[in-house]
Structure 1
Amino acid sequence: MDKSEQASDTKAKATEAKNKRTSTENRAVPFLAAFNDIEQHFRAHFQAKHSEGFGNLVRRAEDKHLISEGQARLLHEFADLRNCISHGSYGEDLRPIAEPLPEAVREISHLRDLITHPPLALSVLGNHEVITLYPDSPIADAFNLIRDKGISQFPVYDQGKFLALLSTNTIARWVAKDYTRGLDGATVGEVLECAETSETVGFLNRHSTVREVLEYFTTPTKAKGGGIPTAIILTEHGKRTQKPFRIITRGDLPTLVEAVEINAAEG
């Protein structure tokens, strides 16, 4: 190898080393930026004192269902990595010994977006037509809608206020109980007499986040009679007297969970 080739090879290696160093430094920058965004968001949300540690902020966020248990665990791990990067040892080239992997940068960036701009349930699930019935509606109307539109649950309103949710399960119990009578003349109100008391419905406002809906579906409270709702109806302000925009059922849970998974944005 002549001198020109040696010089060229040396230059190529130097360029490669520089690019590698820059790439690593660039990974530390977005990692720390995302971490700081999350910390600042929690501090603003809880109006936390400057002396309150990040770990405690994460625990408070988990208690308030702003993040899941898995996300809280991941944030604690990221906090350890942040400390290693910020306060750890540096090499001769001034690079931190602890370097975030590309996967860590992607994860914390996605988590930052979920925390600072949480997705709305209505945005994730989309709008759909909510057909309401009334106590004096013929039950035949429900059968026709089930056949023609594939709808399985109908909010029943009486004088502008939510009364109950008519489901195909309730209809099946009514048919089994009174099948000899036939459908002629039967009303929705009569069929609702076969509804189970455990089939409760919750109400949330149309701007509820995915995390809020998941928490409502999975956490029993006294306000819900100690149980879990069968469905959630989204209205303008979460009131029973308002027009329903969307019915969310347990069948929607997989879609909602996927929307807030850390790896949802990764291909």
Structure 2
Amino acid sequence: MKQMKKGPILSERFEVAFNQVHDAMKDIVKINDERFVVLVKVGAKKYQIIETFKKDLEQYAKLRNAIVHEKMEIGYYIAEPNAKVVEHIEKIANVFNRPNYAMSIATKNVMYFDYNDSILKVTEAIRQYNYSKFPIYKNKDFVGLLTASSIVKWMAQNMVSTSVNLADTHIFDIMKYEKYHPIDFVSKSTNIFDVETIFEKSHKMKKKLEAVIITENGKKDETPLGIITPWDLIEIDYTVD
């Protein structure tokens, strides 16, 4: 009777998954020191995906050292990890290696307007979609964000006898009341980790980045395909079952 070929032993599976996580972290963190524990420590401060699994990865680093460094010969391990541990690190490896394009967490179908549009278009969008920030374009080039708070400010200063005329008001009228909002642009091929880095660098420079707008090639004069705010990064779910 022909014997069935056995699959990899638990220790081999653990080592493969560990190495996959290690390689992924090298690509994400991008520092000169490529030691696993250093990548975990540095990466957890910048990237939510690493912070989520920080404690597990620190424990797995110790386990990996115990298994691999005590290996008596090639293919022979002095100890076998628990099956649940192996399954868990394999799930973590899958999370690290799945495509994480920024578009996957972005708000799609971005509501944007032309500089010369009627403000009534914006107020209708606020009513219908409950959005509060809108990219504004002039001659197809991005000129800034229009916010609901600026519309309210304009209305307060232009109210006559408890009413205000919006019918003859255009976006350019309101933009005079709008403050500067730091915005960055990235291409649709950008991943989540690069976007996290953009927000992190902005924070270190004490510049509050309002949003990252995704376009085809990351150019200001292209149609916005998605928009990411700091809240979108907070809400990423990297957990595994």
Shorter-chain TM range is 0.7 to 0.9
Instruction: Tell me the residue number matched to 1:33.
Output: 16
Q: Which has the larger radius of gyration?
A: 1
Give runs of aligned pairs for residues 133-212 of structure 1, distance below 5 A. 133-180=113-160, 181-197=164-180, 199-212=181-194
- Secondary structure at 1:170's aligned position in 2? helix
CA distance in 2, matches of 1:137, 1:230: 23
Q: Which structure carries more relative contact order (alpha carbon 8 Å, separation 6+)?
A: 2
**Normalising by the residue count of structure 2, what TM-score does the alignment of the two structures yield?**
0.75
CA distance in 2, matches of 1:58, 1:265: 18
Worse-matched range after superposition: 40-49 or 68-77: 40-49
Aligned with residue 57 of structure 2, among 75, 82, 87: 75
**Normalising by the residue count of structure 1, what TM-score does the alignment of the two structures yield?**
0.69
Runs (5+) with no aligned partner, structure 2:
1-5
| 8 Å CA contact retained: 2:114, 2:138 | yes
Give runs of aligned pairs for residues 1-267 of structure 1, distance below 5 A. 26-41=9-24, 53-56=35-38, 58=40, 68-69=50-51, 71=53, 74-88=56-70, 96-97=78-79, 99-100=81-82, 102=84, 104-125=85-106, 128-180=108-160, 181-197=164-180, 199-220=181-202, 226-255=206-235, 257-258=236-237, 261=238, 264-266=239-241
> Going by fraction, where is helix more abundant, 1 or 2?
1
Same amino acid, percent of matched pairs:
24
Runs (5+) with no aligned partner, structure 1:
1-21
Letter in 2 for 1:33: V
CA distance in 1, matches of 2:192, 2:24: 18
CA distance in 1, matches of 2:27, 2:130: 45
| 8 Å CA contact retained: 2:182, 2:208 | yes
Shift, 1:240, TM fit: 0.9
Shift, 1:74, TM fit: 3.9
Alignment deviations for residues 52-76 of structure 1 (CA, whole Å, 9 cap, x no partner)? 6444555676688596345455433
Letter in 2 for 1:246: G
Measured on the aligned residues, the alpha-carbon RMSD in Å equals 3.5
